[in-house]
Structure 1
């Protein structure tokens, strides 16, 4: 049984491979990316328990990847990998929501110890408050269970991610571009039709069978979730 799923975003392939081998030996499931754009897309398309993120990346920088992740996800622990003399990067990273940083070169045993600490802290945080709610609609982030009026609602992974983003920004009007960027990632840039399609899917499952709709269209702007 996997101890958790970890994403490694590191452009130096030898370092990424070394971290991957050590983590898999310790019983973790891993995925790797070598550019910021690829890493962000992977993070947004799958569920990860922890992210190891190099600051110096081609394309999107590690700090920009972190900023975009933290705009929608405050829970997943992020450990930055920084160069020895890059104090501004460390400070900026912590300000943007990184949980920890390791300075290169580092001992793999220390990285493993920090991963254990942050995964333990994360599981505690989710256990303390796994529920998101609006009216009689409840979502448990830990079990990914969605219920309304005590009825279980089955959602696909993408529908679930869209609902989570709407719930975390309820009572705010969200443009199609915002939803596309934060739920689908930049691979879908410009294809806002996909947002309308998935909003329709969600509406059919969350609102259609019930008397009170929560998902509202704001004409010419986008969508919002509100009572």
Structure 2
């Protein structure tokens, strides 16, 4: 029998944290529950979890700061934020600093479990994917590295790498906006759409050295990568 996926859960509401922990354990996950960001960071370094579920508002070290510290060590571990915040800039900030998904409180456990399974599946896909040629670039999807000719490679974030991977796989065809939002963000709501626009802009800047590569906005449908 395979070892259970180890999840680090950082949640300062004791009752909610215990409910989430017990619910995930009934689905055969191993859950490490921490009540503040500092303890969570120590647990991350000592226990090597495979996925993080982080509350944004926590004592000692908030979820965004914790994610930034972890991203300095690990660019690939999936991160889900739990947040009571609803401002667009807060959601976008969470994705920008390296979050892979978010859930607004209150949320259903079934939704959290689905999103966890989606992120684990993407992580497995990344490990088995190939190195891809794109114009004058080489894209190493498993390592999330984008290289231009002989220049030093650029390290992409987890979400940038997966978005670029799907754009390349659908090269010269329209990548449906709603489908990719649901696949990578878990929802196609306004906040996720704004976040994806930010990531598309970042990818355009990183690919600008090869002028033949374009990410076109097909209004009302999605995006199309051409080279």
Give the TM-score normalised by structure 1: 0.55
Report the alpha carbon displacement of residue 25 of structure 1 after superposing the two structures with TM.
0.1
Mapping for residues 62-101 of structure 1, pairs under 5 Å: 62-101=63-102
Q: 1:123 Cα deviation (Å)?
A: 1.5
Map 1:160-199; keep pairs closer than 5 Å: none
The answer to whether the 8 Å contact 1:2/1:27 transfers is no
**In structure 2, how many angstroms separate the alpha carbons of the residues matched to 1:64 and 1:89?**
13
Contact 1:82 1:89 in 2 (8 A): no
8 Å CA contact 1:10, 1:53 repeated in 2: yes
Give the Å deviation of 1:32: 0.7
Cα distance in 1 between the residues matched to 2:68 and 2:34: 17
Alignment of 1:25-44 (within 5 A): 25-44=26-45
| Cα pair 1:7 1:48 within 8 Å, conserved | yes
State the Cα distance separating 1:127 from its structure 2 match. Answer: 3.0
The residue number in structure 2 matching 1:16 is 17
CA distance in 2 between partners of 1:48 and 1:127 (Å): 20
Aligned mates of 2:36, 2:9 — CA distance in 1: 10
Confirm or deny: 8 A CA contact 1:2 1:28 kept in the other structure: no
Shift of 1:112: 0.3
Distance 1:105 1:12 in 2: 13
Q: Supply the distance in 2 between the matched residues of 1:127 and 1:30 (Cα, whole angstroms).
A: 26
Shift of residue 42 of structure 1? 0.5
Partner of 1:5: 6
Which structure has the larger Rg? 1
List per-residue Cα deviations over 1:112-141 (Å, max 9, x = no partner).
000000001111212337xxxxxxxxxxx9
Preserved CA contact (<8 Å) 1:66 1:97:
yes
- Which whole-Å deviations, capped at 9, do the CAs of 1:8-35 have from their partners, x for residues lacking one? 0010011111111011000111101011
2:222 alignment counterpart: none
**Divergent runs of 4+, >2 A:** 84-89, 126-129
Comparing 82-91 with 37-46, greater Cα deviation is found at 82-91
- The separation in 1 between residues aligned to 2:75 and 2:15, in whole angstroms, is 30
Aligned to 2:61: 60
Aligned residues: 133
Q: Which residue of 1 aligns with 2:161?
A: none
Residue 84 (structure 1) shift? 4.4
Deviates more, 1:119-128 or 1:19-28: 119-128
